[in-house]
Amino acid sequence: MHDDRSLVESRLRRVLGERVRPAVYPRSVPLDVTVWHAPGEPVPVAEGLAAPHAPVRTGDRWGAPWGTSWFRVTAAVPEEWAGETVEALLDLGFDENMPGFQCEGLVYRPDGSPVKGLNPRNQWVRVADRAIGGERVDLHVEAASNPVILDYHPFRPTPLGDIGTAGDTPQYTLARMELAVFDRTVWELVHDLEVLGELMAELPVESARRWDVLRAVERALDALDLQDVNGTARAARTELVDVLSAPASPSAHRISAVGHAHIDSAWLWPLRETVRKVARTAANMTQLLDDEPEFVFAMSQAQQLAWIKEHRPEVYARVKKAVAEGRFVPTGGMWVESDTNMPGSEAMARQFVHGKRFFLEEFGVENDEVWLPDTFGFAAGLPQIIRAAGAKWLLTQKISWSQTNTFPHHTFHWEGIDGTRILTHFPPVDTYNCAMQGSELAHAARNFKEKGRASHSLAPTGFGDGGGGTTREMVAKAARLRSLEGSPTVDWEPPAAFFAKAEAEYPDPPVWVGELYLELHRATLTSQAQTKQGNRRSEHLLYEAELWAATAAVRAGFPYPYEELDRLWKTVLLHQFHDILPGSSIAWVHREARATYARVAAELEAVIGAAQRALAGEGTRPLTFNAAPHARSGVPALGADPARTPDGGTRVTARPGGGFLLDNGLLQVEVDGRGLLVSVYDVAAERETVPAGAPGNLLQLHPDFPNQWDAWDVDRFYRNTGTDLTAVDELVADGGTGVRISRSFSASRVVQVVSLAPGARRVDIATEVDWHETEKFLKLAFPLDVHAERYASETQFGHVHRPTHTNTSWDAAKFEACNHRFVHVAEPGFGVALVNDSTYGHDVTRTADTTTVRVSLLRAPRFPDPETDQGVHRFRHALVPGASVGDAVREGAAINLPARTVHGGASVAPLVTVDHDAVAVSAVKLADDGSGDVVVRLYESRGGRAKARVTPGFAVSGVVRTDLLERPVEEGGLTLSLKPFELVTLRLSRAAGR
């Protein structure tokens, strides 16, 4: 037989595109359209409906960037359409290739009740299943003219990312606005042909099944009269019945389809627009659930559901009804789909506390699964946090984006730093916006790495980011793919049903130990420095506010600010979303974030101040409040006392050849004439920290123009070129304990103060940068005279080790990594810590005898925010010679929790004390349920075992261990035997009357 595949396939493409799809709507009439353009921010629905409208026609331009326009469409159903299915087709000017990234709309009835969302792939609104001739159609559309930021020529700088710079030029052209007859038979034929055409393209040429499908398609096209598609569509469908009913092979890969709409809580749009995006999508999905009885939709991020509850209660009522029916599935159990690298220990825990609690209180649903398809890698401390929150499964997809190494598993056990394992799944479909295309499903089956051991995978299905979620077209295709020869099988089901099946069929999956490092988007650890500083400061202020408010509540009857702390925690958690904290959002988002962090800080400082005044009482004695989990200056951890003045002082003298010598009897520090650290000598250890000829405190400037994803990526080639910033404008003694260094370069200026406090075993470096560079990367380097094959960096509830070498491609790919408050390098007998108050990105490299730690300070990408990081920034670091990991933990906490002085009359005993220095307290608070119980969370911080005694400073009537949500999991005691990095939460009931 002659090979005529190309002929038939080309015929199918043209007939389907030019004849069959247009025939879905065989008759139409124009709608009458009027519009009102709202000034400023979005208005309430009632105001939009009642506003005075003016006529507008298709072809007219509309929509200033970030504006809102209210369209009203009206018509009468033609008499001859009586009994037909009728839909309104509302094209606001969509580009079908950009669902989620341009204009969107929400349709309302005249009474203000929402109908469904409008999106580039979802432009229809059902008017009547059986129309009545002459019936009046009256619909309103709240249309958002969001500008296209990520265009066909991506990563180009644009002023459209902030309303203050976006201008007012209309962005869109009003297109098709019609009332039309919907031909269901033709619509079904479209999906018959699409599914079979996509299947053919994936089958081997030598497969008999491919030729069976080809001939059936050919017969269907022959049966179709192109001059009367609507009249002959049924006959064409008949020719396809046999090939569509051939069942899948028993060994076919099995796909659990989960309706999904991955909506970034902010990204190329501000938070206020996400509030509307989630309402549009939820309206769409609840409507689709009503129409499609087998469809299941899952929505993550409690914050987004809370927005719907607050701003669109009518949509929320539909959501709650669908949740109760088990078909709209709250998933993930987190407040937002956060970044997991940078949030601190308690913040990561509270993502689950607030997310799971919302789902429990609102829906009676508790999630076993964590849903993070788009997060930029996963910290090694996360598994035990997931388990402590009462969950056991994790889904993500993003690791498939890694540039260098292909991850070896799709279903596996992930083991964290404490040994906790959770079942983890990476969907082999390699997208969290699956559209049920044959190519996607075939890729999932081919790509699945567990073949022979397992047969199930998951496919998140739907358009995200405001693209409207799952479409009726996807559901139609899934119905044909339920069991179809040559294809994986497809069933709609909730995430938990998939995980239960995966767990049952694969009881002994492979184990991956340590962080799930994404070999991409490494620059998100540095971009938008002020957003990251706001997060770090907010986390520690929240810790202090809880600690001192709880202590004051128990000691002095202080009113514990439950509601205020709950609100502020949720605000901070929202800003840990994986495009806000990583610095990959538009200027508007980060401008608002800076203002929000300032408000959060002011409120928390007020709480802390009031609680400390209540504790200090009347008097003039200076009391030092120490919130750190370790004693310092004679003040106990978590308590307040007069601080002990350190013995001795610091001498600052001129150095021969230029520069200064700093000496406090513990450390001897040399700053040369270039303002660089050429010696940091540990007197007790008789050990030099800085290698000869390789000075520390060295600022290095690199070009930084990645191949794509400007705010997200730093490519390894940035290291090929760099400039050491050694020129000095001014070098003077400062404050009796330090040296001030001023430098200028290009359009920027740096002022540093290197200081050595009396009694301190660390060198402090305060850096102020007035930054006016573009596409540059600023590093601060510390070569260390330490021979280390690996180093430790703090992560949630512990630390993770990474290699300093590049033996393998996996090692080499980690050329930029995350730390929290410290990095520690060591050889037997001697270690050095570098601690910080607000930076995350860093790199560590080595030569034969030197290990160099470089802190990432600032970047200057121009997309999506062309003014990223311009302005003044302040950083604090400290170099700690002779440091153990325990010293790194202590100094890292100290630099982030500076002591506070309050004048009063009485010392403040700690609410709890712990007698083992390796056991760090991460939270002291009152229980969220208002019972007055005291909750203490602590963990082993050094990676060893520890037996510790917790001593309450108040009368206790009972102790239980709890999960993160403060629910009892077992009887507890005050003597703990902790495994390495083990996390424990204790709930202490206060004795009556105390």
DSSP assignments along 769-804, one per residue: EEE--SSEEEEEEEEES---SEEEEEETTEEEEEES
Q: What is the rounded CA–CA span in Å between residue 286 and residue 158?
A: 36
Phi, psi of 55, deg, nearest 5: -65, 145
Average pLDDT of span 532-549 = 98
Q: Which two tokens stand for residue 432?
A: 């969290």
**859-875 confidence digits (pLDDT tens):** 999 999 999 999 999 99
Query: Residue 647's pLDDT is what?
Result: 85
Reference 818, options 521, 430, 414, 406; nearest CA is 521
Reference 301, options 371, 383, 399, 374; nearest CA is 371
Q: Is the pLDDT of residue 676 over 80?
A: yes
The arrangement of strands across the sheet holding 393-395 comes to 369-371, 393-395, 421-425, 411-415, 511-513
> In 3-state terms, what secondary structure has residue 932?
coil
Q: Helices (DSSP H) in 454-586: which residue ranges? A: 472-480, 495-505, 529-556, 562-574
Query: Residue 993's pLDDT is what?
Result: 62
């303002």: which residue's tokens? 675
| Residue 354 CB-density burial (10 A; 0-12 exposed, 13-18 middle, 19+ buried) | buried
Query: Residue 971's pLDDT is what?
Result: 87
Instruction: Give the list of residues 6+ apart from residue 104 with CB closer than 8 angstroms, or none.
Output: 92, 117, 118, 119, 143, 144, 146, 276, 277, 280, 466, 468
Q: Is the pLDDT of residue 796 over 90?
A: yes
Q: How confident is the model at residue 972 (pLDDT cuts 50, 70, 90)?
A: confident
DSSP element (H, E) containing 885: helix 885-896
Its pTM stands at 0.97
Average pLDDT of span 955-983 = 96
Annotate 212-228 with b (16+ C-beta within 10 A) or e (fewer): bbbebbbbbbebbeeee
Which active-site residues does the annotation give?
A: 374
Q: Which two tokens stand for residue 972?
A: 């507890």
Q: What is the rounded CA–CA span in Å between residue 205 and residue 195?
A: 17
The DSSP letter of residue 17 is: I
Percentage of residues in the chain with pLDDT exceeding 90? 98
Query: Residue 574's pLDDT is what?
Result: 98
Average pLDDT of span 339-364 = 98
How far, in Å, are 148, 276, 465, 589 from residue 103 at the CA level?
Answer: 8, 12, 12, 18
Helices and strands in the chain: count of H runs, count of E runs: 19, 53
Q: Which two tokens stand for residue 405?
A: 């190494």
The DSSP letter of residue 469 is: B
**377-418 confidence digits (pLDDT tens):** 999 999 999 999 999 999 999 999 999 999 999 999 999 999
Average pLDDT of span 178-193 = 98
Query: Residue 400's pLDDT is what?
Result: 95
Query: Residue 133's pLDDT is what?
Result: 95
Average pLDDT of span 956-965 = 97
Q: Is the pLDDT of residue 994 over 70?
A: no
Q: What is the rounded CA–CA span in Å between residue 378 and residue 422?
A: 13
Q: What is the rounded CA–CA span in Å between residue 68 and residue 70?
A: 7
Q: What is the rounded CA–CA span in Å between residue 572 and residue 611?
A: 21
For 656, other C-beta atoms within 10 Å of its C-beta total 7
User: Residue 125: beta bridge partners?
Assistant: 88
Q: Which two tokens stand for residue 969?
A: 């999991």
Reference 3, options 202, 199, 215, 197; nearest CA is 215
> In 3-state terms, what secondary structure has residue 899?
coil
Q: How confident is the model at residue 563 (pLDDT cuts 50, 70, 90)?
A: very high
Q: Is the pLDDT of residue 204 over 80?
A: yes
Q: Is the pLDDT of residue 455 over 70?
A: yes
> In 3-state terms, what secondary structure has residue 217?
helix
Q: What is the rounded CA–CA span in Å between residue 163 and residue 452?
A: 54
How far, in Å, are 20, 742, 925 from residue 127 at the CA level?
Answer: 22, 70, 55
Query: Residue 2's pLDDT is what?
Result: 79
Q: Which two tokens stand for residue 227?
A: 């001059």
**Cis upstream peptide for 864 (omega within 30°):** yes
Average pLDDT of span 71-92 = 98
Q: What is the rounded CA–CA span in Å between residue 340 and residue 351?
A: 10
> In 3-state terms, what secondary structure has residue 858?
strand
Q: Given CA atoms 293, 295, 299, 304 in this order, what sign does their dihedral have?
A: negative
Q: How confident is the model at residue 848 (pLDDT cuts 50, 70, 90)?
A: confident
Query: Residue 3's pLDDT is what?
Result: 86
Q: How far is CA 344 from the centre of its chain?
A: 14
Q: How confident is the model at residue 1 (pLDDT cuts 50, 70, 90)?
A: low
Q: Given CA atoms 268, 274, 280, 281 in this order, what sign does their dihedral have?
A: positive
Q: What's the chain's Rg over C-alpha atoms?
A: 31
Average pLDDT of span 984-993 = 92
Look at phi and psi of residue 746 and say left if phi exceeds 0, alpha if psi is from -120 to 50, else beta: left
Average pLDDT of span 905-912 = 96
Q: What is the rounded CA–CA span in Å between residue 35 and residue 56?
A: 6
**206-232 confidence digits (pLDDT tens):** 999 999 999 999 999 999 999 999 999
